[in-house]
A and B are shown apart, each in its own frame.
Chain A
Amino acid sequence: MSTKDRSAFDSLPLKTKEFIMYTKEKTLVRLVTIGSVDDGKSTLIGRLLYETNSIFEDQYAAVEKTSKKKGYDEVDLALLLDGLSAERQQGITIDVAHIYFETPARKFIIADSPGHVQYTRNMVTGASNSELAIILIDARNGVLTQSKRHGFIVSLLQIPHMIVAINKMDLVDYSEEVYQGIMTEYEEFSAKLNIHDIMFIPVSALKGDNVVRKSNRMPWYDGPSLLHYLENAHVAADKNLVDFRFPVQYVIRPHLDFRGYAGRISSGTISPEEEIVVLPSGKNSRVKSIITYDGELPEAFAGQSVVLTLHDEIDVSRGDMIVRTHNLPQAGNHFEAMICWMDEKPMVKDSPYIFKHTTKDLRAFITKLSYKIDMNTLHRQTTDTFELNDIGRVELKTSLPIFFDPFNVNSKTGSFILIDPLTNNTVAAGMIRGVAKTVENVLEDVSIEEGAQKKSPHIVWRGWNIPRGTREDRNRHKAVVLWFTGYSGSGKSTIAKVLEEKLFKMGCRTMVLDGDNLRHGLCSDLGFSQKERSENIRRAGETAHLFFEHGNIVACSFISPYRADRAFVRSLFPTDRFLEVHVKCDLEECKRRDPNGLYKKALSGEIEKFTGISDPYEEPEKPEFILETDNLSLEQCVENLILYLQKKNIIHS
């Protein structure tokens, strides 16, 4: 900046100044390095660190010492990267390690990923946040299967830039022919993939050729050194700045007059006064302000964490997405995706998984396995399951429609993970391709197990005629679902009923749903197998949803013994409007109470599959409320719930 610029700059208002300053500053680039054992990946990264002065003296001294001890001639820079002791003993990298270095222009975060086929999931993990990938090839070995696999992963995860570092050039006499041969073969292969930008750099990690500086040992190579390329790659252009997507993370309400929606802009830009629509409610409004700790912004863009306020008071909660009125994402609850399976436990088709997408958790089923990729030949093959490290294409159905963009257009709104509802482990990474729309899906038969999860394909969701918020305004209380779960005889229904009576007297709109009223009518076709229990709960949840949208306080009393079923019901409601109430009572006490003589029958074997006796009860993990009915009186239980509803501003005090 010249002195004149400087003084003009100084006189700008602070906000503008900061904005300008930031864009002139150093930027962050995330890259992933993939290589198989002994390709020289650690040596290469070690060299980058060493030559950019990113190694601490004491670390270098330690490595120097170890190298000497091992009798090496050169300092083994690879030793700088050793992570966990288990790996140190085996001498191989098995998990993604994060490494940091910077140059005057950029700061880099390397996700260093192992390259063997059994670590496919680690590569996918490392690649998921990267803008740039470096793949290592040992010049002596040429293009091996693994190098193709690595390219495939780069293409699958849609990393915009890829560098193929052809390493150990010193061992092939810095031969141009070797370099050309590898490049030609790899280009032929990568033409079949979806890779936008690919660069081949011949290097010797050990000797340092073409890593930081251009080497004069390869005069035939006229491209940049590796570091030069890293510093200049056009990563800025990769951002999607067109489609404004704002998944709401958190509602900020310091006082009654302020309601802001916190989130990180996934893509696009936004300014005050722009017209927006909130999904899924479909309500329109305009942006009032973009708030940050430093003050309001005239414009915000992809990557920024901000708070939006709107001109209209509409109901927006976590999991909703704010978008521009004339640029909508796709919607659907049945779509195709590529997934990578990441769990030791194989995938189970048609079994419920938690589906995490943007800031929303839903339930999803994998309904069809189209194919998986043979990770050696990269050919497609049919399969009836996915095991650890398998990658392939599937169809999924979610409990509610989601709003997404195809992964190749928008990685933030096109990606998801699957979580096993029992272990809570992350079991799969997914990339949405688009809405599933083959004829056979529409024609699939509708049996209870399958059909239950299916939405009528031709019914397009258009929102409620009179929105819930309007009904709530008239009712002067909010709608909420209290889901009482617990053993038979724990006191669920009694509490639900007394609570309803009390709320009703207070002028609230209420409804009680329980096993009795549902199983007599709506669910009279269902028995007590696990599947039928699940279906019963699904219908109960959907019924509760209808009452909820009608503005009611719905008290639902169901044993609902399976966690996954309750998770599904939860997924139907906004986060702060579903209260799971665990009515907890010692099983022995329930048996003693045995209000309907059911335990007696179960114990004698007259009733099969009775929860607590011959069928499991999976306790809630994060209930909003626990009522211990062997310690609290009925009045206390009801009183506590009412206080809670008041505290949460569902009803007025």
Chain B
Amino acid sequence: MSPYRLSYLKELESESIYIMREVAAEFKNPVMLYSAGKDSSVMVRLAQRAFYPAKFPFPLMHVDTSYKFPEMYEFRDKFCKEIGAKLIVERNEEWIAKGCHPLKMGIEKCCACLKTQALLDALKKHGFDAAFGGARREEEKSRAKERVFSLRDEFGQWDPKNQRPELWDLYNAWINEGQSVRVFPLSNWTEHDIWQYIKLENIPVVPLYFAKKREIIRKNNRLIPISYYSNENNNTHSEIENHQTETVMCRFRTLGCVPCTGAIESYATTLDDIIKEVDEVKKSERENRLIDTTGDSAMEDKKKQGYF
């Protein structure tokens, strides 16, 4: 092989860095959405690389539903402090106060208020004209056709029929008043790549990704962590009584909100184990997120409304 060819991880890295620099140069007020998940961790590392030896020239923003795992909050605060990043946390306080919860309002509605609306409000409040997101095309069918620069109208909506063609690496950063752009620098990464890169780069991630014994209940083939049921605010004790609790070796493949994220049975306690598992298990990654399975085109519909 020619020594002048990058390994595929380095090639993906280089492409992502290029995208980030384009955004920093062409937009007035970019922000990087940060969820404390593994993709966010990789994205932040790429941003550090892109602007080294300077700090990356945009803040991180966490759109918090208040239902994230405690480990995630802890990780987030420590991580951001360590790397000296500016972190903005935004929440839809109005709906959180009203007790918006998937069990009460349904998953769709809850996501619409606490994620989609909160995100749109936050972008508007700060006047961000470009927002980096860690979504990957491989994750879900409808994302396969998503652009790297995804144009959103003033309501944050995505129109799959009306996407700009994206040619070579010439990204069109011109937008009209009120429009904004969601930028996906990890578009071409797969779950496998993400873990390989985390290993290569020694990137810290939330411990929930690693298998350990956890107390759960089984519900429609999903392992729901018990900690969610002990949430005082929700009248869910009866649920626990109806279900058997168990202690099993499990880990989280993706991290969303506690009520809607299931764990998978797993013995993967190290990065190598995880990489091996990702290669072997062959279940699509978002399978354990309730939100994607509510309808065949669930994700696509949500994106049209402005979900990431």
* B236 close to A (CB within 8 Å): no
Per DSSP, are chain A's interface residues mostly helix, strand or loop, or mixed?
mixed
Q: Which residue of A88, A236, A305, A424 is within 8 Å of B175 (Cβ)?
A: A424
* B7 close to A (CB within 8 Å): yes
CA–CA, A100 and B129, complex, Å: 30
Q: Are B4 and A56 neighbours in the complex by a CB distance under 8 Å?
A: no
Chain A residues 113-135 with CB under 8 Å of chain B are 121-122, 124-125, 128-129
Q: Are B284 and A125 neighbours in the complex by a CB distance under 8 Å?
A: no
The verdict on A98 contacting B8 (CB below 8 Å), with A56-B284, A58-B283, A258-B53 known, is no
Most buried by B among A106, A264, A412: A264
Q: Are A124 and B17 neighbours in the complex by a CB distance under 8 Å?
A: no
Q: Are B8 and A249 neighbours in the complex by a CB distance under 8 Å?
A: no
CA–CA, A241 and B13, complex, Å: 20
A583 → B minimal CB distance (Å):
17
* A481 close to B (CB within 8 Å): no
CA–CA, A129 and B148, complex, Å: 13
Q: Which residue of B5, B15, B163, B172 is within 8 Å of A23 (Cβ)?
A: B5
Q: Which residue of A25, A98, A99, A621 is within 8 Å of B7 (Cβ)?
A: A25
Q: Which residue of A96, A100, A318, A415 is within 8 Å of B25 (Cβ)?
A: A318
Chain B residues 154-207 with CB under 8 Å of chain A are 160-161, 163-170, 172, 174-177, 187-188, 190, 192-193
Q: What 1/0 flags go to A30-42 for Cβ under 8 Å of B? A: 0000000000000
Q: Which residue of A55, A260, A293, A304 is within 8 Å of B48 (Cβ)?
A: A293
* A416 close to B (CB within 8 Å): yes
List A contacts of B17 (CB < 8 A). Answer: 264, 305
List A contacts of B4 (CB < 8 A). Answer: 236, 239, 241, 269, 301-302
Counting contact residues on chain B (CB < 8 A from A), the size range is 35 or more
Q: Are A424 and B174 neighbours in the complex by a CB distance under 8 Å?
A: yes
Q: Are A415 and B142 neighbours in the complex by a CB distance under 8 Å?
A: no
* A4 close to B (CB within 8 Å): no
Residue of B with least CB distance to A417:
B170
CA–CA, A307 and B53, complex, Å: 9
A20 → B minimal CB distance (Å):
9
Residue of B with least CB distance to A237:
B2
Q: Are A292 and B52 neighbours in the complex by a CB distance under 8 Å?
A: yes
CA–CA, A425 and B149, complex, Å: 12
A431 → B minimal CB distance (Å):
10
Most buried by A among B5, B24, B141, B287: B5
Residue of B with least CB distance to A251:
B25
Other 17 A-B pairs with CB < 8 A, given A22-B6, A98-B188, A100-B137: A25-B9, A27-B7, A27-B8, A28-B11, A56-B284, A58-B287, A97-B144, A250-B21, A254-B53, A254-B54, A264-B14, A301-B4, A303-B14, A304-B14, A305-B14, A354-B174, A411-B168
In the complex, 27 of the A-B residue pairs with CB atoms within 8 angstroms, ordered by the A residue number, are A23-B7, A25-B8, A27-B7, A27-B11, A55-B282, A56-B282, A59-B284, A83-B142, A95-B160, A97-B145, A98-B187, A98-B188, A100-B137, A129-B169, A239-B5, A252-B53, A254-B54, A264-B169, A293-B52, A305-B14, A305-B21, A342-B165, A356-B170, A359-B25, A424-B174, A426-B172, A619-B177
Residues of A at the B interface (CB closer than 8 Å) are 21-28, 53, 55-59, 82-86, 88, 95-100, 102, 106-107, 109, 121-122, 124-125, 128-129, 236-237, 239, 241, 249-250, 252-254, 258, 260, 262-264, 269, 291-293, 301-305, 307, 318, 342, 354, 356-357, 359, 411-412, 415-417, 419, 421, 423-426, 429, 575, 619, 621-622
